[in-house]
Amino acid sequence: MTDITAVQKPRMSWLDTLFNPSGKSTKIEFTRAWTLLFFLQLGVVMLPWFAAFVMGLAGGDGQAIGRFGLYLSPIVFVTTTVLSYVIHTRRLRDAGKSTLFALLILVPLLLGLASFGSSVMQKAGEYATLYEDRQEYLDDPIAFREKKAEERQKKIEEAEAERKKAEEEAAKAKDEGEQKEEKELPACPGAEEGPGQGQVGQRGPGGGFRGGPSPENPLPDQIGFVLRPNLQSIQMAIIPLSAILAIWSLVWVARAPVEQRYQHQSQGFARLYFGYSGRIGQKQFWLGWLGLVAMVGAGVVVSSILGAIFPPASTIIMGLIGIAAIWMINALAYKRIHDIGFSGLRAFIPLAVTVGAGLLVLLIAMPLGWLSMLHCGVPAGLNYLGISAGLAVVTVCLLHFLWMGFADPDFDVDQFGEPPLAME
């Protein structure tokens, strides 16, 4: 009789699977996490719309739910895309493939953020122009209307001149007997339209120019004018590209065979980013930094969106992100320096240099500048000293970071623990 001993697999850690890019995930763990993220994106699109539809059928006002879904959907899409990058990184490492393939998941997010940023900048410029016109109108309404009337008349004259020029060219070509395609003549604004139509600046049904906002009326809410119309541009870029990448994820990434059986020695999310004991290798250090940058970037996007709804929230969130980032940076540096064979206190060298440069400027440059202003009336080159101190700090921080990232590890067991796995 064959003795079959059941081997219990380690229990799945959702925290590590979703937030720790330096570990590994099996096929089933990747599939579970991918399914969760997919239904989160699907739910944030469908549920607010369905709830608003049901409330409308019941005779209620579903605009509040729709507005909530409008603000919530970009937050969910940004967050789930970053988490999708993490789970793809872990699955590719488990299959022995290059983790650079996981960067494909971030392409739709980057395109969506670029589209969102350009649209917001354009609308912000329009709002600034509208604000200036509004101030000009409030200062002198009669002069403002006369100025706009002159601008309208100038545009009509320019269009009429272009029309006459085109007619002359067409007549000349006809006289010369040339077989040319008849050019389309530009329409003169207001020439073929009824009263009250076709005039640039004519207020439409919405009380603004051609139905838009008018400087002669109170300005619309800045958030509603600038941010709200562009929020959906993020998921509009993510959804179609992610649908294509989903085929790659399910057909290749999820099915890629494991390269080799290994003893799972992943640091774990909490230990990697918040623990100051133990050691991490070069690969864990760089992946930890990449995950940290992705998390901070997603946090900044979420902070900006929530700040548009409730401004104090942006300050609070950015403060928490800053504190957490400083702690995580030092935790990664501490364990990496342990792996090199030195005390983790060397992680604070950039901080010491920064504080020292600040004290130098404060204790030496400021008194010298004050004395120079007192006796000569001009500062004593404070800008040059400040720039020099800043360049020195940046140089030290960059060299220290590169040293941690590329220094050879100590392959022996030392006081900080055993060396990480070669694959890590």
- DSSP H or E run through 55: helix 27-57
Q: What is the mean pLDDT of residues 255-267?
A: 60
In this predicted model, what pLDDT tens digit does every residue of 230-258 receive, in sequence order? 777 887 888 888 888 988 998 889 888 87
pLDDT band at 354 (very low <50, low <70, confident <90, very high): confident
Residue 207 has pLDDT above 50, yes or no: no
pLDDT in tens, 66-124: 778 888 888 889 899 999 999 999 999 888 888 889 999 999 888 888 888 888 888 88
Given this model, what pLDDT does residue 293 score? 86
Output the average pLDDT for the chain. Answer: 78
What pLDDT does residue 380 have? 52
Looking at residue 85, its pLDDT comes to: 92
Nearest to residue 73, comparing CAs of 112, 121, 21? 112
With cut-offs at 50, 70 and 90, classify the pLDDT of residue 204.
very low
- Residue 346 CA to residue 338 CA, distance in Å, equals 10
Residue range 272-298: mean pLDDT, rounded:
86
pTM of the predicted protein model: 0.56
Tokens for 278?
Answer: 């133990």
Between 2 and 53, residue with greater pLDDT: 53
Dihedral of CA atoms 150, 155, 159, 160 in degrees, nearest 10, equals 0
Look at residue 417 and tell me whether its pLDDT is greater than 50. yes
Which pLDDT score, from 0 to 100, does residue 30 have?
A: 93
Largest CA distance in the chain: 107
pLDDT at 201 (0 to 100): 42
Q: Which two tokens stand for residue 329?
A: 């940076």
Whether 261 shows a pLDDT value over 50: the answer reads no
What is the per-residue pLDDT for 367? 67
Kindly tell me if the per-residue pLDDT of 185 is higher than 60: no
| pLDDT reported for residue 372 | 62
| Residue 41 clears pLDDT 60, i.e. is over it | yes
Sign for the CA dihedral angle at 211, 212, 214, 220 comes to: positive
pLDDT the model gives residue 344:
85
Write down the pLDDT at residue 196: 43
For 400, what's the count of Cα atoms within 13 Å in the CB-facing half-sphere? 23
Task: State the Cα–Cα distance between residues 119 and 228, nearest whole angstrom.
Answer: 11
pLDDT higher than threshold 70 for residue 173: yes
How many Å apart are CA 225 and CA 218, to the nearest integer?
13
Average pLDDT over residues 49-68: 80
186 has pLDDT over 60:
no
| pLDDT value of position 80 | 92
Instruction: Look at residue 55 in the predicted model and tell me its pLDDT.
Output: 80
* Choice between 386 and 297, residue whose per-residue pLDDT is larger: 297
Residue 36 in this model has a pLDDT that exceeds 90:
yes
Nearest by Cα to 279 from 322, 334, 335, 214: 335
Query: Does the structure show a pLDDT above 80 at 422?
Result: no
pLDDT of residue 187: 52
* Domain parsing of the chain, residue ranges: 14-177+199-264
